[in-house]
Structure 1
Amino acid sequence: MLKQTSNLNEEVTRFVDGLDHPLQKEITQLRQAILNANTGLTENIKWNGPNYCFHGEDRITMRIQPPKQIQLIFHRGAKVLEQPNEKLVNDRSGLLTWKTNDRAIAAFKNMEQILASKQALSTLINDWVVAAR
């Protein structure tokens, strides 16, 4: 049973519930993992998927299409910013594939991968929120 997260957005829940997606349970698990990791995150729909903001700034976007895997895009918003000299966070877990020093992707193909990386993902989310300010 998933822990009920108080900051689940009803609009996002309706969006996810209306999906015909083979990884729908994984999407729900990731939503809760993200929101449980940092209570300062808020949830909305952006770029046709769940999106997570900290103090109104986009930080993590869930890419759900194509439906072979779920990707979490870690970023600093839609605008291109000056690149930091080093990667924004230290990813000891190896979950992130870096695109630039301030943009990375974590990909999940099944529930087992999500559950196995839950603690590491929580740490990454919190580190990202702090570093992306």
Structure 2
Amino acid sequence: MPKSILPPHQQVTEHIQKLDPAIIDMVEKLRHIILDTDGQIAEQIKWNNPSFYYNGEMAAFDPKEYKRDIAVFNLHKNRVMLVFPSGAKVNDTTGLLEGDYKDGRRLAMFTDISDVEAKIVALQMVIRKWISLIKK
């Protein structure tokens, strides 16, 4: 089946299977943590990487504002980064989010599977705070 015909979930699975084996377990663990955080989070390939977005009801907005986008992977050998395009709007008291970019994005870095496991609560807290800010 051509990639464009596959459902988004399957496209993400195929993308992950082609990654450097050193980071596959980390990416899969993060994927499941994010999807398990809220039933209205969906996944797709966007910006050439797995990404997560809110697929529930929202007030109308300009699609170029990326208000639906929660996080997108930025994947490198032996390092996994989650980019939150509008992460600056979240009052992150956990210290998970890093960076102070003018465009409003913030980053979360993960070095290995134990680092991912140590940050589960913080990651889910940041995502829930992000979702709570959505204008519905």
Q: TM-score range by the shorter chain?
A: 0.7 to 0.9
Q: 2 CA distance for matches of 1:107 and 1:19?
A: 17
4+ residue stretches of structure 1 with deviation over 6 A?
A: none
Please identify which structure carries the higher helix content.
2
- 3-state DSSP of counterpart to 1:26: helix
- 3-state DSSP of counterpart to 2:106: strand
TM (norm. structure 2) is: 0.75
Query: Any stretches of 5+ residues in structure 1 without a counterpart?
Result: 1-7, 77-86
- 3-state DSSP of counterpart to 1:92: coil
- Which residue of 1 is the match for residue 110 of structure 2? 108
Q: 1 CA distance for matches of 2:19 and 2:9?
A: 16
Which of 116, 122, 125 is matched with 1:123 structurally?
A: 125
Contact 2:85 2:105 in 1 (8 A): yes
Q: Cα gap change, 1:95/1:115 in structure 2, threshold over 3 Å: closer, same or farther?
A: same
C-alpha RMSD of the superposition: 2.0
Output one character per residue of 1:67-99: Cα deviation in whole Å (capped at 9) or x when no partner. 2311111114xxxxxxxxxx4122111111133
Within 5 Å, give how 1:1-133 maps onto structure 2. 9-55=9-55, 57-64=68-75, 66-76=76-86, 87-100=88-101, 102-131=104-133, 133=135
- 3-state DSSP of counterpart to 2:100: strand
* Shift, 1:132, TM fit: 5.3
Q: Cα gap change, 1:26/1:113 in structure 2, threshold over 3 Å: closer, same or farther?
A: same
TM (norm. structure 1) is: 0.77
Q: 2 CA distance for matches of 1:116 and 1:15?
A: 25
Count of aligned residue pairs for this structure pair: 115
Highest Rg: 1 or 2?
2
Contact 1:89 1:128 in 2 (8 A): yes
The percentage of counterpart residues that share the same residue type is 28
The amino acid of 2:81's aligned partner reads Q
- 3-state DSSP of counterpart to 1:113: helix
